[in-house]
Amino acid sequence: MRASRLLSILILLQLRQRLTADELAEEFEVSVRTIYRDIDALSAAGVPVYGDRGPGGGFQLLDGYRTKLTGLDASEAEAMLLIGLPGEAQAMGLGDAAMRARNKLLAALPKAGSEEANRIAGRFHLDSRDWYRAARPTLFLSRVARAVLDRRVMAMTYDSWKARADWRVEPLGLVLKAGHWYLVARGHGKIRIFNIADIQLLEIFDQEFERPVDFDLAAWWQAEQARFEAELFSETATLRLSPLGLKRLAALSPRGAAAARSAQIGEDGYALAEMAIENSDHGAREILMIGAEMTILAPASFRERVHALAAGIAGLNKGKTR
């Protein structure tokens, strides 16, 4: 433990130039006296660290000194890809490891490179959360992440849209999409997708499983999403839209954006567009967000469903003043 702290102190001094004993004690949650002993240990090991007293003082390394002791341990290597997502790393139980990995990477850079990396980090922020929907609780995320990394068989009680069921699965990977965490796992002879927020009970066994050697998580996910969307959005709606309606269509969804890009604009400024929809009922609820800036040309069943839904809304609100 102490060896790890000594290395971390060395890397922090390399990154931040100067730190007081109080700052170091707060960072590592130890006493100031312990920090003084650690600094003495570094000096005895030949590290050129010195301290200045008074305002603006603190510990720092001799100018030009850089350590080569920046190797990542196993937990830091696991957290590497989450360096830019500290919130998600924390949720997976890898927050501290991700921060240590980040510090070691910065420490390995020349001073100019480290300063440039910090400058860029201060100008870009990655936020995976949806604008309009709060993230659902993912109570088991950190434990599932550990099972994925350790290749441990899991048993879980899972709530799907069909029913609650018990599963025994081999966790192959985790995917973060639109602020939601999904587990990709092999269960009942097939690779499947589970929403982490819908796991109700979880047990992780000591039993290891053999991960398929040819399984590529990113490639499988993309292919599965393409297959799912092709099956789900099997109908096509033909729309005539005003210029404002076309803008609203583009902002509606990825399918709406694709339809808007391929729309044909007439001389009157109105556009003809075709958008894939799931079915008349689901599509009607979605398309009403465009408002009175569109005409549904086909199919007739879709037009009738939108008309009925809009009429129902109007009827419920007729004569309402507040």
Domains delineated in the chain: 2-61 (1.10.10.10), 74-121 (no CATH), 141-215 (2.30.30), 233-317 (3.30.70)
How far CA 198 is from CA of 161, 183, 202, 228, in Å, comes to 10, 11, 11, 20
| Residue of 199, 213, 203 whose CA lies nearest to 158 | 199
The whole-angstrom distance between residue 178's C-alpha and the CA centroid of its chain comes to 7
Kindly indicate the confidence band of residue 62, based on its pLDDT and cuts at 50, 70 and 90. confident
Kindly indicate the confidence band of residue 97, based on its pLDDT and cuts at 50, 70 and 90. low
Greatest alpha-carbon span in the chain:
85
Model confidence pLDDT, tens digit, residues 272-306: 999 999 888 888 899 999 999 999 999 999 999 99
Kindly indicate the confidence band of residue 237, based on its pLDDT and cuts at 50, 70 and 90. very high
pLDDT at 87: 64
User: In sequence order, what DSSP letters do the residues of 240-262 get, joined into one string?
Assistant: EE-HHHHHHHHHH-HHHHHHHHT
Q: Which of 126-130, 171-175, 255-259 is the least confident region?
A: 126-130
Mean pLDDT (whole number) for 220-225: 92
201 pLDDT exceeds 90? Answer: yes
Model confidence pLDDT, tens digit, residues 146-176: 999 899 999 999 999 889 999 999 999 999 8
pLDDT at 126: 64
pLDDT at 148: 92
pLDDT at 100: 67
How far CA 192 is from CA of 166, 224, 267, in Å, comes to 14, 9, 49
Kindly indicate the confidence band of residue 188, based on its pLDDT and cuts at 50, 70 and 90. very high
Cα(172)–Cα(145) distance, integer angstroms = 10
Which amino acid makes up residue 75? S
Mean pLDDT (whole number) for 77-84: 54
113 pLDDT exceeds 60? Answer: no
Kindly indicate the confidence band of residue 94, based on its pLDDT and cuts at 50, 70 and 90. low
35 pLDDT exceeds 70? Answer: yes
Mean pLDDT (whole number) for 28-34: 88
| Residue of 111, 122, 125 whose CA lies nearest to 13 | 111
Cα(81)–Cα(101) distance, integer angstroms = 10
3 pLDDT exceeds 70? Answer: no
- What percentage of the chain exceeds 90 in pLDDT? 39
pLDDT at 155: 97
Mean of the per-residue pLDDT values of the chain: 82
The residue that leads in pLDDT, 105 or 225, is 225
115 pLDDT exceeds 80? Answer: no
Tell me whether the omega of the peptide bond preceding residue 254 falls within 30 degrees of 0, making it cis.
no
112 pLDDT exceeds 90? Answer: no
